[in-house]
Structure 1
Amino acid sequence: MSSPKPAMPARPPSQPLPPLTGGKLVMGTVALSLAVFMNVLDSSIANVSIPAISGDLGVSPQQGTWVITSFAVANAISVPLTGWLTQRFGQVRLFVTSIILFVLSSILCGLAPSMEVLIAARVLQGAVAGPMIPLSQSLLLSSYTPAKSGMALAFWGMTTLVAPVMGPLLGGWISDNYTWPWIFYINIPVGVFAAWATWSIYHKRESAVYKLPIDKIGLALLVIWVGSLQIMLDKGKELDWFNSSTIVILGAISLIAFIYFVIWELGDDHPVVDLTLFKGRNFSGGVIAISVGYGLMFGGLVILPLWLQTTLGYTATLAGEVMAPVGIFAIILSPFIGKILPKVDARWVASTAFLIFAVVFFLRAQFTENVDTFTLMIPTVIQGAAMAMFFIPLTSIILSGQPPEKMPSAAGLSNFVRIMFGGMGTSITSTFWDRRTSLHHSQLTEFTGPHSPAFTEAVHNLTAQGMSEPAAWATIERLITVKAATQGATDIFWISAVLFLMLIALVWLTKPSRSSVPADAGGAH
């Protein structure tokens, strides 16, 4: 196959981009960060609004979860296409177009008269959101000098750390005080400003455009295996996993399509996803470390508020307040980490992050059903420090040594794997929690019944207080359920702590690096 002739590039490929300075640097950083914040926020803001959306559109809450699933599936498919799309359309043009289409799809979501229309709009929203996060990394890195690349990643990381926490809080507040369409309408002013500011500053810094042929087979296989896997992960718990023929079929389709996808992409001249990136030790080691760590962290962020609400009786607002302090140290430390990163080995910073994560989950493993709010918040506050040291150095390791033209592909592929592991972490931990809770419940109930002196005494004490015997039995059953769910949650926290310690070894399989991001990391030219 002959190589395609590139179109006239926006500037010579060999000419490096000068860094931005002054007001343009500030405005560019704000615009890119706002776009990422809007994107990440929308992946979680609808979660707490599902009951309101379902009730308003006349569907069950189970059907309403497709509002989340549809966005996740479309987003997961489009993220790894970032490199190919950038080469074909240019990174600035693609980024701004993604923002504009994101705003338009948000308007369609808010105006949706039925669940079918809403799901279609969410599919569009998820699809156009895909390139935004990796391209924001690329554009931001091109705005700073190599010596300040860590600071650039710090600013980028702050938005990705705060948005997942803000999403449920903001979504719940809007649903309670206004109407659910406003969780989508709030994107309009943010998106319009981000698109205008980005184009104003970056339109003369466009990357070269190459008219590459479309890898239709690779794209079709990507859609099939990612879509099947994402739906399987989202619906697995609801359908009892592999006891369901639907899940078995989805799993088989995903596995077969994935195998064919890898074979095809490695042999194609113009693959839609550049899998050869995994040949690099830093890329493969960094991607695995950040993805597994993200999956563990995200699983914990899902289980903890669920446990607080379903077991300890916390309201959604109170559970959100317990989780909110995670952003304190993350925001405070991120600029500091970005400043020192070029001067130290990024592996030490990432190892410290995993060690702190292990301590955090070890502390949570000590929780009991009588834990107070202050004790709950201590590890949450500490986790913010780990998050500040987690994303920035590992992203730096992943992107180290990549030539400028590979940056969008590397950023897109690494974000894709991380997002997929986040979904897997959520599904696995929620299922594991259910099963460990059932196991602990069955073990605890072995000590109940007339043959148990302790149980008999407990029933007697409750009835002596004026409670009927059935009510006493129900009270004890509730106590057993609470204890079993708590033990199930702490099992997950223990396992997560151990796995975080094991990830430290993986970090040290990468090559040593100080200023890990290449001089023209964001150019993609």
Structure 2
Amino acid sequence: MKRTLLLITVIAAAVMELIDTSIVNVALSHMSGNLGATLEDTSWVITAYAIANVIIIPITSFLANKLGRRNYYIGSIIAFTFFSFMCGQATNIWMLVAFRFLQGMGGGALLSVSQVIVFELFPKEKQSVASALFGVGVFVGPTIGPTLGGYITEFYNWPWIFYINIPIGIAAASICYVLLKEPESKGQTGSIDWAGIILLAIGIGSLQTVLERGEVDDWFEAGYIIILSVIAFFGLLLFIWWELTTPNPVVNLRVLRSRNLSLAAIMTFVSGVGLFSSVFLTPVFAQRLLNFTPTQTGLLLLPGAILAIGGLIISARLLQRGVSPIVMITAGMLMFVVFSWQMSGYNLDVSAGSVTATLIWRGVGLAMTTVPLSVLAVSALSPTDFAQGAALNNMMRQLGGSFGLAMVNTYLANRNAVHRMDLVSNITGDNPASVKRLADYTQFFLSRGAGAQEAQAKALRLMDLNIIKQTSVLSFNDAYLLVGLVFICALPLLLLATPKKKGEKVQVILADH
């Protein structure tokens, strides 16, 4: 009973952290109006959290060893909960951005350390089930975030997207204080690698800022994006060099000598691209173009999310029976490609049922990759390197999400311009279809009592609105195709994986962590 309660608690903590990566996305306009800030400034609420997350995740193993894993984990839950409360109390935008950054710093341990604790709670023969249960949080968190945020904003007020963390955080910290034990063996930390921490913060922080803000500020047209790109490049180069040469690195990059971990990190990056970009594209497509409410959008995503949980359990069972992780990752990625292909063919007349059915391919496909990627990542690591490997793998998912969002946002803007130009070029006096459409619109407004000039002006505005909608649909079609293409291009890399030795069991790979 105690083990089950602790298991539910740490998974809930991880889900809470992941929900907060996307829950604010649909509340930005409300925050902007309430705090008297521009929408551009308000978007730093998302950026600050993402930067903090991606900085802290790779050093969670070091911090857990240095501070004691139990102390660090409980302290992180308390920090996350406290700064969630402070976010809701913010009275201006930059106060909110600062508290979001500190919330993200507290949330780092709720992902990587939670994963390690979940594995330790299961015996050897059920390690793949542990991976599946943790995968529920990884998948469900970002998926339900926008819908939950939309519902709270629609029926309550935006501070409540932060306040809902408070009872969960208090309960999680209390249960962990009573039930969570310090592991018997601790890694060696030695002196604190301050140089590594500073270089990581500068390099990763700059890179994350570029990815989050690049499209908003027209990429290299903005001077600060150029400067941060240069800082990110040289900062990360110096960080890699330093961590490979210092005797006590804050991030042990030597674990990437494992071919399977390096490959899993790349594929996890790709799955992050798919997970976060599809979570962004689908609600926007449903709400802005199909005119669905946040609640209706949530119902679109729900069946896929439920079936994804089944996919996680099935994938764990298949791994226990000796099915190759490579085969399952391939199958899952191909399912996601099917999702992308089908979404790329939809227009404004698509039914809710069709979108829901297509989202099932997405849910099950990503679920089928989650557990095998976790297995592949640690399959050649020693028990002492597991926490570091898990942290690096989780960081790659977050970076993949940021890259995916930057990629689809930029691509949407570019394709929007191209499609608009194509559509407008066909609206001429020589095109019978456009002439008839304009005449029908004009006649409609005339029948409503408008004068000739007013009716024509309104007809032209209506034509332009239709062009904008059609342009958006075509751009979203292209964006879904692009994400699917990323998955297709990544598939051949799976051929580089080191196969299991004959008779080797998946559960043994994950034992004693």
Q: Is it true that 1:220 corresponds to 2:198 in the alignment?
A: yes
| Counterpart contact for 1:329–1:382, Cα < 8 Å | no
TM-score by length of 2: 0.93
Return the offset for 1:211.
4.7
- 1:352-431 equivalences in 2 (<5 Å): 352-431=331-410
Return the offset for 1:446.
1.1
- 1:313-324 equivalences in 2 (<5 Å): 313-324=291-302
| Code of the aligned partner of 1:507 | L
- 1:442-457 equivalences in 2 (<5 Å): 442-457=421-436
Give SS of 2:22's match: coil
Residues 111 and 206 of structure 1: CA distance in aligned 2, closer, same or farther (over 3 Å): farther
Return the offset for 1:460.
2.2
Q: Which residue of 2 is the match for residue 486 of structure 1?
A: 473
C-alpha distance after superposition, 1:239-278 (max 9, x if no partner): 1111221211111111111111111111111111111122
Distance 1:443 1:94 in 2: 56
| Code of the aligned partner of 1:516 | V
TM-score by length of 1: 0.91
Higher helix share: 2
C-alpha distance after superposition, 1:407-459 (max 9, x if no partner): 11111111112101110100111110111111011011111122333322222
Distance 2:274 2:150 in 1: 25
Return the offset for 1:502.
3.2
Q: Which residue of 2 is the match for residue 287 of structure 1?
A: 265
Aligned residue-pair number: 501
Residues 450 and 178 of structure 1: CA distance in aligned 2, closer, same or farther (over 3 Å): same
Q: Which residue of 2 is the match for residue 17 of structure 1?
A: none
Return the offset for 1:33.
0.6
| Code of the aligned partner of 1:349 | M
Q: Please, which runs of 5 or more residues in structure 1 have no aligned partner?
A: 1-22
Return the offset for 1:57.
2.1
Distance 2:184 2:41 in 1: 42
| Code of the aligned partner of 2:118 | L
Return the offset for 1:335.
2.1
| Code of the aligned partner of 1:262 | I
Q: Which residue of 2 is the match for residue 471 of structure 1?
A: 458
Distance 1:159 1:350 in 2: 19
**In structure 2, which of residues 241, 244, 250 is the aligned counterpart of residue 263 of structure 1?**
241
Q: Is it true that 1:254 corresponds to 2:244 in the alignment?
A: no
| Counterpart contact for 2:333–2:366, Cα < 8 Å | no
Distance 1:176 1:462 in 2: 34
Give SS of 2:438's match: helix
Q: Which residue of 1 is the match for residue 498 of structure 2?
A: 511
Residues 70 and 471 of structure 1: CA distance in aligned 2, closer, same or farther (over 3 Å): same
Q: Is it true that 1:501 corresponds to 2:488 in the alignment?
A: yes
Aligned identity (percent) is 29
Return the offset for 1:340.
2.5
Distance 1:198 1:331 in 2: 25
Residues 118 and 290 of structure 1: CA distance in aligned 2, closer, same or farther (over 3 Å): same
Return the offset for 1:35.
0.8
Q: Which residue of 1 is the match for residue 415 of structure 2?
A: 436
C-alpha distance after superposition, 1:88-143 (max 9, x if no partner): 12322221221122112222222223323222221111012112211111111111
| Counterpart contact for 1:89–1:209, Cα < 8 Å | no
Distance 1:126 1:405 in 2: 26
| Code of the aligned partner of 1:427 | A
Return the offset for 1:181.
2.3
Q: Which structure is richer in relative contact order (CA contacts within 8 A, separation 6 or more)?
A: 1
| Code of the aligned partner of 1:419 | Q
Q: Is it true that 1:87 corresponds to 2:77 in the alignment?
A: no
Return the offset for 1:518.
4.6
Q: Which residue of 1 is the match for residue 38 of structure 2?
A: 60
| Counterpart contact for 2:25–2:146, Cα < 8 Å | yes
| Code of the aligned partner of 1:498 | L
| Counterpart contact for 2:69–2:182, Cα < 8 Å | no
| Code of the aligned partner of 2:190 | L
Return the offset for 1:193.
1.9
Q: Which residue of 1 is the match for residue 449 of structure 2?
A: none
Distance 1:398 1:389 in 2: 15
Distance 1:432 1:69 in 2: 19
Return the offset for 1:175.
2.3
| Counterpart contact for 2:60–2:391, Cα < 8 Å | yes
Over 6 Å off, 4+ runs: none
Give SS of 1:501's match: helix
**In structure 1, which of residues 303, 308, 312 is the aligned counterpart of residue 281 of structure 2?**
303
**In structure 2, which of residues 132, 145, 169 is the aligned counterpart of residue 191 of structure 1?**
169
Name whichever of 242-251 and 499-508 sits farther off: 499-508
Q: Is it true that 1:128 corresponds to 2:106 in the alignment?
A: yes
Distance 2:426 2:436 in 1: 12
Distance 1:245 1:313 in 2: 38
Please tell me the root mean square deviation across aligned C-alpha atoms, in Å.
1.9
**In structure 2, which of residues 3, 10, 14 is the aligned counterpart of residue 36 of structure 1?**
14
| Counterpart contact for 2:273–2:404, Cα < 8 Å | yes
C-alpha distance after superposition, 1:453-506 (max 9, x if no partner): 332222223323345222222222222222221111111222332332333322
Give SS of 1:451's match: coil
Distance 2:36 2:300 in 1: 32
Q: Which residue of 1 is the match for residue 451 of structure 2?
A: none
C-alpha distance after superposition, 1:182-226 (max 9, x if no partner): 222221221222222233333153542645211121111111111
